[in-house]
Amino acid sequence: MAGVALVGYVLAVVLAVVIVWIVARRRPQGDETVPPPVRALLSAARRRATLAVIAAAVAIVAAFVASYSLPALLGLPFLLSPAVGATAGLLLYAAIPPRAAVVEADRVRDASLTPRTPVSYLPRAGAILLAILVVAQTAFVLFTGFTSSPDDSGRYRAIAFQVGDVGSVSTPYAGWFYGIPLLVATAILTAATFVALWRVSSTPALPDSDLAEVDAGWRRATNRIIVAISAAAVLLQFGGVAVQSGLTLRNAAYNSGLLVWSNTGVFFGWAGVLMLIGSVVGLTLALLWALTLPDLAVDRTSPHRVEAVAP
C-alpha cells in the first residue's frame, strides 16, 4: 500500500511541476523595470530558491525509496523522509552564499540600515499555519502515544481493545514508537527552517536605499517559499501517519464494536488524506513562487520608486 501511495504522490508532484512550469513560462516578466545589476541579483535569488524546492522534493522521494531497504525498522525511515528531505533542501539553500552586489566605483553605496531578524519578513499566514500544524501533530502524537499498546516485541506501535471476552489488536499505529522520532525530526526541520530564514535576513541589503522596497519584496517572497517547503513536509508526514493510524484504529475498533473509536479512525484517515493533498499544493506553490520570485519582489514595490534609479 505504501508503494502505491508513493507512486501516486510522485505522479501528483510531477503533474504539479509541469503545470507550474507552463504557468511560469507564460507569465509576463515584471522585473524588466529594475536596473540590470538588481535584476541579476533577483535572478540569482530565484535560482537559489528553485534549487531548494527541487532539492527538497528529490531528497524526500529518495528517502522514501531508500526506506524500502530497511524493513527491519518497520517503516520508521519512511515516516521521517519528509522532514529529512525538506531539511536537506533548506540547509542547501542556507549553504549557498549570496551573490555580491556590484556597485560602480564612482557611486556611493546607500543601503537601508534597518535591523533585520529571521522573523522580520516572515509571512504571517504561513507562519500561523505552520505553527498550527506542528501543535496539531504534537497533540496527535500524544493522543496515539497514550492510547498505544506494545506489540509482540514490546514496541508501542499497536492499538488494542478488550470488550468482555472479545479482544482486538491492530498495527501499525503511531504510538510512541513512531511518534517520538517524528517529533524529533520535526524539531530538526524547525531548526533548519530558522537557519534558512536567518540566511535571508543576513544577506546584505541592495546597495541603494531607493530599492528598499525591492529588497524587502524578495525577502518576503523567499521567506514564503521557505515556510511553504517546511509546511509541505509537515503536512506530508502528518498526513501519512494519520492515514495509517486511522485505518489501524478503525479496524481494531470495528472488530470490537466500538463505534466512537471507529469513527475517530475514519476522521484521522480523511484528515490525513486532506493533509497529503495539502502537501502537494504546498510544494507546488513553493516552486511557483520560486520560479517567479523576481516578479513577486517587484510586484510588491511602488513602480515610481524603481524607475527613479533605472538607467
DSSP symbol at 101:
P
Q: Where residue 6 falls among pLDDT bands split at 50, 70, 90?
A: low
Q: What cell was used for 219?
A: 525577502
Residue at 106 is within a domain:
no
Residue at 232 is within a domain:
yes
pLDDT at 152 over 70: yes
Residue at 109 is within a domain:
no
Residue at 153 is within a domain:
yes
Q: Before 77, cis peptide (omega within 30)?
A: no
pLDDT at residue 13, rounded to an integer: 72
pLDDT at 193 over 90: yes
Phi-psi region of 224 (alpha: psi -120 to 50; beta: other; left: phi over 0): alpha
- Residue 192 phi, psi dihedral angles, 5° rounding: -65, -40
Q: What cell was used for 170?
A: 491492530
* Total-model pTM: 0.88
Residue at 110 is within a domain:
no
Residue at 107 is within a domain:
no
Rounded (10°) angle between helices 212-256 and 36-67: 20
- Residues 258-284 have pLDDT tens digits of 889 999 999 999 999 999 999 999 999
Q: What domain count does the chain have?
A: 1
Residue at 105 is within a domain:
no
- Select the more confidently predicted residue: 8 or 273: 273
Residue at 111 is within a domain:
no
Range of the domain at 303: 2-100+116-307
